């Protein structure tokens, strides 16, 4: 059974006042309950933002969460979007997060919203696989596991666990295949890790210990990271995060009301930004934001608000855009709640920025639309040249998608023209299943093109595009953790070749570039299609970079699934990877291990 939005609204209205007489348990979630009042928060954020406080009836809260879980658990390409907001307080419940649901604590620090139980993602497919458990998130809670039970955040891409304090242990899969994910700005007091999960990226966190993992795991600025024993284990450890701004987040306090906190820029850090409760940054009152709704706003109304000096808060839903959203003023914040999704309708760019400093764009998706767009997101004009090193633009939890939910057309999903941009977790995906996935249904060349200089990206997931997944044209670029499956479905090497070389390298640094760094990269092939054809489809190089002394690439893992394979790891060097093989190679150590 699937619950309609109306029923969720009914449940939502009930839980926003104390329920002293209700005794229905969670197992009775199918029972119809009449609405008693209208939420005062519906007028602020809309009916798909559910606001909780710890004075509400526990059973009513549980009933609403059960109904939402049942509706969203397997809604991989659904249209519903939700944000669950928890005011400061203490809650006794298991909070389960599913497709297109974002759970957010509203305190200034995680301990201000404490969950006695779990903040978890536990849905899976056959044999406990979670390789398609995407598009969800949890932020800014302290979690005290009940009876010291393991917390499961069993996910793959686009499912960050951020700004969390787990007073126990956590596992990022359920014992079968997983392909995630991200832990950032968090504390795990106990053990964190994987059983069979393919890869994981951890940044600016403190963990009691790490266990497990399969193909590629990277730790940047993490206290408690495992020992780097490459190539015995595919682990990459960087002690300090060179430059980062943590993701902005919504807060609520009785004195200040609703506001968005924007953490300050930090350099050469390890561990969480909030650990000493002295986090620097800017608290922006909600009155300074234009709160957008998918059924009321369009690009014109959003652009008018941005031009007037407002920041932008996107509430959950799908925004079909006939024009480009233009972000032109420095230091503007664009923050999404509940994975709002922008879809260009007329072949335009969905969101473009001027070459200005200090932008913060966070927490939204962009789907390719029915008409061919040159790019979905463009950061800076094509002639961008300004130095923004003292106040970089930062992008957080940005997801772009071509196909899957609907057929889409785009050349490049994300184009970065400005200098000094910080990327904090991207998933750029040409769909390998769902709608609009056939090779000839569009020209989808690149996930990411970087033209700006001094661009740093943490956690880059980029998959299945028809040319280079990542094309880096700017100088002094840096990538920390890269996960990429090349396309599953090239029909033959006649249509999928780079000037005669089999296929296109996943990660390409242009020949004119003299300075570039990349650490902890996993590049994989899973060629499908007719066996007699796909066995002949191969990739010549997983990576291609110029042979210049300023180019440093450390720790590359390659894996080949059924059919075909990868001839070389980088620039004609490194071992051949045949079906079923996992190889580890270091560009500068010359090491390899099967």
pLDDT digits (tens, 9 = 90+) for 546-569: 999 999 999 999 999 988 899 999
Q: Does 166 share its domain with 216?
A: yes
- Among residues 279, 301, 334, which one ends one of the domains? 279
Q: Does 495 share its domain with 576?
A: yes
Check whether the bond before 423 is cis (ω within 30° of 0).
Answer: no
- Residue 26 — pLDDT band, cuts 50, 70, 90? very low
pLDDT digits (tens, 9 = 90+) for 140-153: 999 999 999 999 99
Q: Does 437 share its domain with 503?
A: yes
Report yes or no on 140 lying in a domain: yes
pLDDT digits (tens, 9 = 90+) for 297-319: 999 999 999 999 999 999 999 99
Q: How many whole angstroms separate alpha carbon 577 and alpha carbon 116?
A: 47
| CB-based contact 102:339 (threshold 8 Å) | yes
Report yes or no on 298 lying in a domain: no
Report yes or no on 131 lying in a domain: yes
Report yes or no on 422 lying in a domain: no
Q: Does 118 share its domain with 39?
A: no
Q: Does 363 share its domain with 229?
A: no
Closest C-alpha to 71, from 53, 44, 48, 55: 48
Report yes or no on 294 lying in a domain: no
pLDDT at 60: 87
- Among residues 368, 392, 416, which one ends one of the domains? 392
What pTM does this model have? 0.93
Quick one: average pLDDT of 386-394? Answer: 98
Q: Does 432 share its domain with 544?
A: yes
The helix (run of H) or strand (run of E) holding residue 303 is helix 299-307
Domain count for the chain: 4
Indicate which residue of 66, 73, 76, 485 is catalytic.
Answer: 485
Q: Does 440 share its domain with 335?
A: no
Q: Does 134 share its domain with 271?
A: yes
pLDDT at 532: 58
- Residue 39 — pLDDT band, cuts 50, 70, 90? low
Report yes or no on 418 lying in a domain: no
485 catalytic residue (yes or no): yes
Q: Does 129 share its domain with 271?
A: yes
Q: Does 21 share its domain with 153?
A: no
Q: Which domain holds residue 381?
A: 310-392
Q: Does 246 share its domain with 371?
A: no
The residues near 313 (Cβ < 8 Å, ≥ 6 apart) are 250, 260, 286, 289, 290, 291, 292, 335, 336, 337
pLDDT at 36 over 50: no
Our measurement of the distance from residue 97's CA atom to the centroid of its chain's CA atoms, rounded to an integer in Å, reads: 15
Q: Does 356 share its domain with 473?
A: no
Helix (H, G, I), strand (E, B) or coil at 122: coil
Report yes or no on 481 lying in a domain: yes
Handedness of CA 367, 345, 3, 258 (dihedral sign): positive
């Amino acid at each position: 059974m699937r619950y309609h939005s109306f029923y969720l609204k009914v449940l939502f209205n009930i839980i926003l006042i104390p329920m002293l007489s209700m005794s229905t348990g969670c197992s009775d979630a199918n029972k119809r309950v009449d609405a008693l009042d209208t939420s005062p928060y519906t007028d602020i954020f809309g009916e798909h933002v559910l606001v909780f406080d710890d004075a509400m009836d526990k059973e009513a809260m549980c009933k609403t969460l059960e109904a939402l879980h049942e509706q969203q658990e397997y809604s991989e390409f659904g249209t519903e979007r939700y944000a669950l907001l928890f005011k400061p307080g203490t809650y006794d419940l298991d909070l389960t997060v599913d497709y297109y649901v974002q759970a957010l604590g509203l305190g200034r620090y995680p301990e201000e919203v404490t969950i006695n139980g779990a903040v978890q993602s536990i849905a899976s497919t056959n044999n406990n696989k979670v390789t398609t458990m995407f598009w969800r998130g949890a932020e800014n809670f302290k979690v005290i596991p009940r009876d010291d039970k393991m917390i499961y955040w069993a996910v793959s891409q686009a499912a960050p666990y951020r700004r969390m304090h787990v007073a126990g242990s956590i596992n990022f899969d359920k014992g079968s295949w997983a392909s995630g994910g991200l832990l950032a700005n968090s504390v795990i007091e106990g053990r964190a890790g994987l059983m069979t999960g393919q890869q994981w990226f951890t940044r600016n966190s403190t963990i009691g210990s790490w266990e497990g993992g399969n193909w590629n795991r990277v730790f940047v600025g993490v206290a408690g990271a495992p020992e780097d024993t490459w190539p015995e284990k595919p682990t990459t450890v960087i002690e300090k995060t060179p430059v980062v701004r943590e993701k902005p987040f919504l807060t609520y306090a009785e004195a200040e009301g609703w506001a968005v906190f924007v953490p300050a820029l930090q350099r050469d850090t390890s561990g969480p930004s909030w650990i000493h409760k002295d986090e620097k940054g800017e608290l922006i009152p909600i009155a300074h934001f234009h709160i957008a709704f998918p059924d009321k706003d369009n690009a014109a109304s959003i652009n008018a608000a941005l031009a007037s000096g407002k920041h932008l808060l996107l509430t959950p839903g799908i925004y079909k855009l006939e024009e480009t959203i233009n972000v032109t003023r420095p230091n503007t914040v664009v923050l999404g709640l509940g994975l709002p999704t922008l879809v260009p309708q007329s072949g335009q760019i969905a969101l473009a920025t001027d070459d200005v400093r200090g932008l913060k764009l966070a927490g939204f998706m962009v789907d390719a639309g029915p008409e061919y767009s040159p790019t979905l997101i463009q950061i800076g004009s094509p002639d961008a040249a300004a130095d923004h090193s003292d106040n970089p633009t930062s992008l957080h939890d940005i997801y772009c998608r071509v196909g899957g939910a609907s057929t889409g057309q785009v050349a490049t999903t994300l184009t970065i023209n400005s200098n000094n941009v910080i990327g904090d977790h991207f998933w750029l995906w040409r769909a390998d299943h769902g709608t609009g996935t056939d090779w000839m249904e569009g020209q989808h060349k690149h996930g990411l093109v970087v033209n700006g200089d001094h661009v740093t990206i943490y956690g880059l997931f980029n998959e299945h595009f028809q040319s280079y997944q990542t094309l880096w044209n700017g100088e002094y670029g840096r990538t920390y953790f890269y996960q990429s499956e090349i396309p599953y479905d090239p029909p033959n090497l006649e249509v999928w070749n780079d000037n005669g070389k089999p296929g296109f390298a996943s990660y390409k640094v242009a020949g004119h570039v003299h300075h570039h760094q990349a650490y902890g990269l996993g590049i994989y092939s899973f060629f499908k299609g007719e066996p007699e054809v796909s066995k002949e489809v191969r990739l010549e190089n997983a990576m291609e970079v110029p042979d210049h002394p300023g180019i440093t690439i450390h720790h590359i893992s390659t894996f080949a699934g059924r059919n075909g394979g990868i001839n070389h790891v980088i620039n004609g060097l490194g071992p051949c990877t045949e079906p079923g093989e996992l190889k580890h190679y270091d560009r500068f150590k010359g090491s390899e291990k099967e």
